């Protein structure tokens, strides 16, 4: 009886929006039409690591979709070179137009041909969307004109041709061709990708994570799963000093201090001054920054970066030691290594075994308390902490990440999370002690998600124990963001024996190659059937060594293939792009992207090789998606409203 009353109450509320039979019928027809459209294209990307140029190029080319559409439309009518020019124009319209104006003799003729071609491409990529959605996606200024060109139904073919010619001629005569080309190119790019998934790790290694965030903020529809490097920056922005030291150390390691200074206005001067004084006679050879073509700074003294690198690394190890001692429940005592060093004899005890140290110059270590910061180190960290907490741009970016991100997302039968779900060797979910609770599986994920949101919302009046969790999630073997037995940073800096550098992975990383294990994980999150998949990043797939991103009979897709340049020598590629459209799943392996300049001048696209193509027998529609299920429920409710209007139980407003 109570349910019936609630339903009547709901229908009365619904009747305020749809006031009569005509309005209800119109909305049902509209929703049914949407439900039967082909599903939009989803693109999945992971481990971007600050590599802005290849990232934005993939957004521009729609993960290869735009080039494919151009080939489909014009493959038999224009040359490969002409198709490449058209594609580049769509990707970078403003920049390409400047070059074309210098090369083309008859601009008006070129404008005419190009506008017709762009209209054909726009029609193709927008054909799976409602006219209303396409119109809303058009940038202001050309909505009416583009809408007319895409949807004109003028009389016969001759009438239509005259109508088109008149519109295009007027655009050119009014000197609006360039603005129109930019507007329709933007529409094509907007329609190519309906939704974007970022499977973690926007930050660290590459030089422009800030630009990646700015691009994501402008994107029309995204979800984001936090990665371990994102978590570290999130903790740093809230004032966790161990996370701050980690972030600064990684920036120094990859010769990317500019992201701190120029990107976020972080004051590095106190660290620089301290490092130059403390390590003035130390060449800090083990701390020389890693450099690549894109992060060679002409006026950067690598020795100075190395000194800062060493200074902040020692501070990090001290701060981590303090955290470990403060939180025995983290079970990280095995990472207390500074007090295991014998600097006089030059060795460290690691897991009961003696290893030679390659560096014994640690002037800031107090033998009576090696984890205590000196007054100078305290000053450096206090000033860095204030700088991180009060960087307006950093806080703006972290707000976006906290609000848009989650530990995991379930979207159209796909379970998305960055790294792992802690498991035991027998395939059962590992029970973890977290904030006084023993949890595993989905309950553990949900508790972490809730806790991270708490850290964010309480960042101004922060509970230290709650804030410390952000470091735990960065480094703990039990963290789903990391999931290795240790983070061997100390070993990689100070011990030459590479055996000590190995980080043993949680059983999830190898057990998930089994279909039954993936089915178990999917079931834990309420997903079952052939359509369900897990999508992960985090562990670069070494394609050159024969590793495959496709595991467990296609149930698991690991799409970290080396977007960051620092990984590409190990992986043999430049990342994976997973596309999910109305025809099914397509996984492509990227070749390294050279530069935007070459992409524009030499029309070099990112070359992708198809790794797997998983198509369905029946083309998927919006009705097969999560949104479609919601729309179907809305149709059911509207049909009930229609019935009560027809029966007279509710009065219509005419």
pLDDT band at 593 (very low <50, low <70, confident <90, very high): confident
Using the predicted structure, report yes or no on whether residue 106 has a pLDDT greater than 60: yes
How high does pLDDT run on average in the chain? 90
Tell me, what's the pLDDT at 3?
A: 57
Residues 371 and 258 occupy one common structural domain = yes
Average pLDDT score over residue span 448-472 = 89
Residues 252 and 380 occupy one common structural domain = yes
End-to-end CA gap in the chain: 31
| Positive or negative: CA dihedral 211, 213, 218, 221 | positive
SS3 letters for 118-168? HHHHHHHHHCCCCHHHHHHHCCCCCHHHHHHHHHCCCCCHHHHHHHHHHHH
Q: Which of 473, 489, 505 is the last residue of a domain?
A: 489
In a domain, 586, yes or no: no
The two tokens of residue 311 are: 């200074």
Residues 105 and 229 occupy one common structural domain = no
Using the predicted structure, report yes or no on whether residue 338 has a pLDDT greater than 70: yes
Q: What is the pLDDT of residues 509-542, one digit of tens each?
A: 999 999 999 999 999 999 998 889 999 998 888 8
Question: What own/partner pairs with CB < 8 Å and gap ≥ 24 does 580-583 have?
Answer: 580/41, 580/42, 580/44, 580/412, 580/414, 581/38, 581/39, 581/40, 581/41, 581/42, 581/65, 581/620, 582/38, 582/39, 582/41, 582/128, 582/619, 582/620, 582/621, 583/615, 583/616, 583/619, 583/620
Using the predicted structure, report yes or no on whether residue 616 has a pLDDT greater than 70: no
Tell me, what's the pLDDT at 549?
A: 87
Q: What is the pLDDT of residues 412-436, one digit of tens each?
A: 999 999 999 999 999 999 999 999 8
Residues 264 and 345 occupy one common structural domain = yes
Q: Which of 111, 116, 134 is nearest to 34 (CA)?
A: 134
In a domain, 589, yes or no: no
Residues 377 and 427 occupy one common structural domain = yes
Q: Which of 489, 519, 546 is the last residue of a domain?
A: 489
Residues 149 and 237 occupy one common structural domain = no
pLDDT band at 395 (very low <50, low <70, confident <90, very high): very high
| Domain membership of residue 332 as a residue range | 223-396+420-489
Concatenated DSSP letters for 224-261?
EE--HHHHHHHHHHTT-HHHHHHHHHHHHHTT-HHIII
Tell me, what's the pLDDT at 547?
A: 82
Q: Which of 547, 614, 619 is nearest to 587 (CA)?
A: 614
pLDDT band at 156 (very low <50, low <70, confident <90, very high): low
Average pLDDT score over residue span 606-626 = 76
Residues 336 and 460 occupy one common structural domain = yes
Using the predicted structure, report yes or no on whether residue 93 has a pLDDT greater than 50: yes
Average pLDDT score over residue span 237-257 = 95
In a domain, 200, yes or no: no
Query: What is the tally of structural domains in the chain?
Result: 3
The two tokens of residue 456 are: 């964010």
Spell out the alpha helix ranges (H) of 360-462.
375-389, 392-404, 441-457
Residues 33 and 65 occupy one common structural domain = no
Residues 21 and 113 occupy one common structural domain = no
Residues 265 and 146 occupy one common structural domain = no
Using the predicted structure, report yes or no on whether residue 298 has a pLDDT greater than 50: no
Instruction: In whole angstroms, give the CA distance from residue 394 to residue 506.
Output: 32
Tell me, what's the pLDDT at 1?
A: 46
Q: What is the pLDDT of residues 461-480, one digit of tens each?
A: 778 888 999 999 999 999 99
Q: What is the pLDDT of residues 10-56, one digit of tens each?
A: 888 888 899 999 998 999 999 999 999 999 999 999 999 999 998 99
In 3-state terms, what secondary structure has residue 350?
strand
In a domain, 653, yes or no: no
Using the predicted structure, report yes or no on whether residue 258 has a pLDDT greater than 70: yes
In a domain, 357, yes or no: yes
Using the predicted structure, report yes or no on whether residue 446 has a pLDDT greater than 90: yes
Residues 138 and 248 occupy one common structural domain = no
Residues 308 and 448 occupy one common structural domain = yes
């Amino acid at each position: 009886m109570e349910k019936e009353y609630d339903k009547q109450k709901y229908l009365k509320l619904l009747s305020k929006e749809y006031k009569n039979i005509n309005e209800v019928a119109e909305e049902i027809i509209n929703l049914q039409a949407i439900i039967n459209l082909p599903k939009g294209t989803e693109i999945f990307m992971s481990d971007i690591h600050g590599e802005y140029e290849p990232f934005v190029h993939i957004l521009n080319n729609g993960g290869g979709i735009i080039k494919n559409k151009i080939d489909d439309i014009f493959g038999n009518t224009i040359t490969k070179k002409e198709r490449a020019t058209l594609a580049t124009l769509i990707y970078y319209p403003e920049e390409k137009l400047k070059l074309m104006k210098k090369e083309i003799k008859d601009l008006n003729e070129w404008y005419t041909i190009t506008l017709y071609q762009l209209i054909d491409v726009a029609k193709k990529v927008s054909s799976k969307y409602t006219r209303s959605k396409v119109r809303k996606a058009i940038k202001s200024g050309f909505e009416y004109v583009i809408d007319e060109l895409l949807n004109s139904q003028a009389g016969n073919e001759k009438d239509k041709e005259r109508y088109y010619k008149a519109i295009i001629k007027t655009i050119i005569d009014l000197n609006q061709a360039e603005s129109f080309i930019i507007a329709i190119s933007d529409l094509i790019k907007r329609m190519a990708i309906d939704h974007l998934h970022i499977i973690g790790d926007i930050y660290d290694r590459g030089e422009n994570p800030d630009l990646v965030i700015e691009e994501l903020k402008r994107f029309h529809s995204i979800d984001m799963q936090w990665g371990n490097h994102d978590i570290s920056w999130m903790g740093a922005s809230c004032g966790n000093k161990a996370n701050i030291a980690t972030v600064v150390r990684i920036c120094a390691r990859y010769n990317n201090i500019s992201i701190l200074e120029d990107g976020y206005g972080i004051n590095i001067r106190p660290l620089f001054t301290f490092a130059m004084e403390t390590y003035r006679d130390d060449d800090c050879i083990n701390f020389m920054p890693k450099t690549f073509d894109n992060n060679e700074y002409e006026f950067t003294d690598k020795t100075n970066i190395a000194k800062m690198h060493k200074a902040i690394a020692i501070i990090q190890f001290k701060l981590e030691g303090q955290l470990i001692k403060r939180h025995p429940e983290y079970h990280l005592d095995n990472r207390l290594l500074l007090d295991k060093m014998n600097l006089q004899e030059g060795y460290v005890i690691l897991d009961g075994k003696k290893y030679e140290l390659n560096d014994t110059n640690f002037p800031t270590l107090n033998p009576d308390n090696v984890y205590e910061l000196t007054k100078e180190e305290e000053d450096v960290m206090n000033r860095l902490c204030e700088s991180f907490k009060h960087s307006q741009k950093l806080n703006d970016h972290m707000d976006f990440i906290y609000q848009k991100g989650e530990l995991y997302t379930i979207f159209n039968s796909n379970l998305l999370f960055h790294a792992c779900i802690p498991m035991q060797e027998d395939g059962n979910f590992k029970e973890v002690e977290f904030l006084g609770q023993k949890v595993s599986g989905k309950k553990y994920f949900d508790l972490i998600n809730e806790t991270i949101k708490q850290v964010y919302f309480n960042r101004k009046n922060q509970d230290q124990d709650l804030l410390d969790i952000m470091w735990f999630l960065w480094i703990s073997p039990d963290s789903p963001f990391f999931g290795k037995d240790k983070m061997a940073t100390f070993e990689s800096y100070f011990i030459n024996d590479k055996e000590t550098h190995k980080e043993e992975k949680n059983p999830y990383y190898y057990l998930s190659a089994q279909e039954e294990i993936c089915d178990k994980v999917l079931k834990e999150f309420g997903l079952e059937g052939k359509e369900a998949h897990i999508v992960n990043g985090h562990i670069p797939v070494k394609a050159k060594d024969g590793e495959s991103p496709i595991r467990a009979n296609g149930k698991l897709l690991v799409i970290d293939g080396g977007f960051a340049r620092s990984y590409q020598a190990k992986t043999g590629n430049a990342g994976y792009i997973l596309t999910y459209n109305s025809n099914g799943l397509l996984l492509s392996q990227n070749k390294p992207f050279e530069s935007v300049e070459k992409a524009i001048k030499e029309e070099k696209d990112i070359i992708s090789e198809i790794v797997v193509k998983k198509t369905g027998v029946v083309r998927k529609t919006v009705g097969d998606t999560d949104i479609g299920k919601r729309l179907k429920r809305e149709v059911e409710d509207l049909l009930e409203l229609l019935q009560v209007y027809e029966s007279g139980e509710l009065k219509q407003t005419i």
